[in-house]
Structure 1
């Protein structure tokens, strides 16, 4: 699961609530897991690996993300190799939940996007009565009865009851979600909240910077060689889109590089008018909206 949104949008609050409701949690960065045994060993016994502050650059390792989303061993990991040599069944059971401020453009297939649960936190929360970024600094105290005991707040009986009610509410909410998952599994269906791969791809693109947002809003990548748009025209429409969105437009070179990372589209010279000259074009894409 990836939680994507700006600072102060509630991503950190969600992770705190999750770590409170699930006692068996870890917090290991994906980069450390990629380096092997030292990171992977910290996941033993953990149901969830919840990690905030993951940069877009850290998510560009598609091989690593594919391995996590598939839940299969990575045999570049020494601990996995050791388990395999000893004949033990080796697989990951920890679910990964990462919070990030933005997503990188990513050329991945449908299989990857079917395995990703992408949750957007699009708006910053009001900082009124909150700490920096809109996060309630006393959230953990409110959720944990033990914290209340430590800080000697038991005399505030009404507050204690309110906090216990909040904690129980989170657990009830999670238990209801589990029931939906188990019912879907029994009926031979997929994860209840999962979206089709193409919808997840569109959402990913809409959170991956101006080019991604433009692609999600105005382009359809078809892979059909008959769908052709001139580079000059498409970049002009992209710059107008950026002006409307009040965001900085990347250069034409960056625009081309990002669009052609998708294997379904490519940059080629084509003749757009009968008797005309060939011009640089994007092939396999068409404008929408």
Structure 2
């Protein structure tokens, strides 16, 4: 009996090993097939063949939050995104620029994304499919939708857009009910020794406040910043641009000495404790992760939620 059992067991082991090897081989083949699958993305510069499921994306400017919001892996990122305290997922990601070609090659990207102003685009295209966007050509929500299309996640991008618009509208209605239909809101930021006011499409929460919540922009800001998106002013004339409420995107390491002047202290919004300070590094962008944070900041600031 033992003589019969032993050959049978040996055959069973060999059969299982063969099946296991075949499964592993098929799994590897499947991975390779997924890696080689592509889609055609219609970029502003023409059709580009890109991975259907990108796994190693390099973002050279602006769009890291969009990519992360769609749960796609980033292996290299620009310095501005890297310094954002809220982008914790980028903590161990390599910082790169459009001139770090050797480092980019080492990172072995399967897709590169950046603004149309980046350098070395032709060289980058030799490393991996490269897609660029012109800043401001699309509004902030359509920009996210386009990145969704690029990453083969259009449905997820659209679902986020619909949800965010509804949440912003509801919060805006509550805020208007509290501060009044005619109340004005301005957004300012200090950078180096300059002071800026912003229109309705230059990040810093402006898209939420003006486009989604329909809050009022001071007339002076409308005149000087709405078309260009931003406008540099001196602290001495800030009172002319300050609304009933002021969102201050503050660079703590920049020059904030104007806040100690009597001119600043006598601005009605300052006297009424209606200046809400945010960390500029967390407010620079208008990607989904930043927008969600900005919306919560506004709800907390205006409504105490």
| TM-score between both structures, scaled by the size of structure 1 | 0.25
Query: Larger Cα Rg: Structure 1 or Structure 2?
Result: 2
Structure of greater relative contact order (alpha carbons < 8 Å, 6+ residues apart): 1
Structure having the larger proportion of residues in strand: 2
| TM-score between both structures, scaled by the size of structure 2 | 0.24
